[in-house]
Amino acid sequence: MGQIENIKIYSGNDLETIFFRPMLVGQNAEELGIRVLYNMPVPTTIQLWSPQTDILQPYSTGWSGGDGAQRVQKTISLTKVKAEVGFSASDYFSQVYELITNRADVNLDDLTGSELEQAETEMFRAAVAENLRLMMWAGDTDANSYNLFDGILKKVHTYMNVGAIDFSVERVSKDNVISLLTRIWEEASPRLKSLKNDGQLAYFVSTDVCDAYEQYLDSLGADGAYTELTTGRRELSFHGIKLIDINISHIMPLHLLDGPSFCFLTDRRNLVLAVNTADYPGSEVRMWYNPDEIQNRQRAIFMAGCELLDEELVVRADFN
């Protein structure tokens, strides 16, 4: 058997439960590092509430309630998108077969249709998830690629074009990375700092910032630094705030920035990715074999978009 000919179509509930929901909820969503909304009503309107303050009053009869909590509200513009991939039949079968044989519980003498379908679905789902992640961060409607909608990085630099911290270095190194992280924290608004105890603040950084911070930690000379040098670090934190490498350096549109480095601090809940497969007619995932081209093809049709809710909750550095 060297090709896979059975057509697979996911739509309606199957599209949600089998294909999209596994990659957009739970641990998979947490790995993106931001807030993910799936199948919220279109247009997707989201809120960011501030805590209610000064609600305690002297006891008296009657009602003397104060103002409600402040709310920031934005509507996420969703874009109709599709993902299409084509493989030669032999290459496609080899990739799917490799996924199957890597499982410990598979019976290679009895490969049923469900085994093949599960492997096909997993392969395409991983490709869609990665491209959606890249679009979410690096999307730029003015670029030649990844241009379906503006991503978070462009929104941060557009909204924060004035007032960013001037960090006058060409590149981040182990000698100045602590100064960078400290300066950003010092310039954060009291409102942003007050959210630290919620555990949702994060520095979103380019890979070179993470590398510089690791080199700084390695240079400390303590026993813990030696252990981490040999075994690695699963995650990085600075004064209890995580550093998240968004890992887009290989495709990042540098015209958005003055150089290859970027670093900004915000609350994870302030960055939102929205995906919808319920309110757009024609949303589906289809995998089929084209005998004319001897090619296996995959297509996904859905809606997606992202947004920065409140620019006052962002502090970013400008590099030069």
How does pLDDT run along the chain (320 residues), one tens digit per residue? 456 777 888 888 888 888 888 888 776 677 778 888 888 888 888 766 655 566 667 777 776 665 555 666 788 889 999 999 888 877 777 777 777 766 655 555 444 556 677 778 888 888 899 999 999 998 988 888 888 999 998 888 887 665 578 777 767 889 999 999 999 999 999 989 999 999 999 999 999 999 999 999 888 877 666 566 666 677 899 999 999 998 888 776 544 555 668 899 999 989 999 999 988 788 999 988 888 888 888 899 999 999 998 888 899 988 76
Residue among 256, 77, 251, 254 nearest 158 (CA): 256
Residue among 102, 98, 124 nearest 301 (CA): 124
Distance (Å, whole) CA 157 – CA 252: 13
Q: What is the pLDDT of residue 12?
A: 85
Contacts of 230 (CB under 8 A, 6+ apart): none
Q: What is the pLDDT of residue 310?
A: 85
Phi-psi map region of 152: left, alpha, beta (phi>0 left; psi -120 to 50 alpha)? alpha
Strand order across the 314-319 sheet:
165-167, 314-319, 263-267, 201-205, 241-245, 236-238
Q: What is the pLDDT of residue 111?
A: 47
Q: What is the pLDDT of residue 196?
A: 93
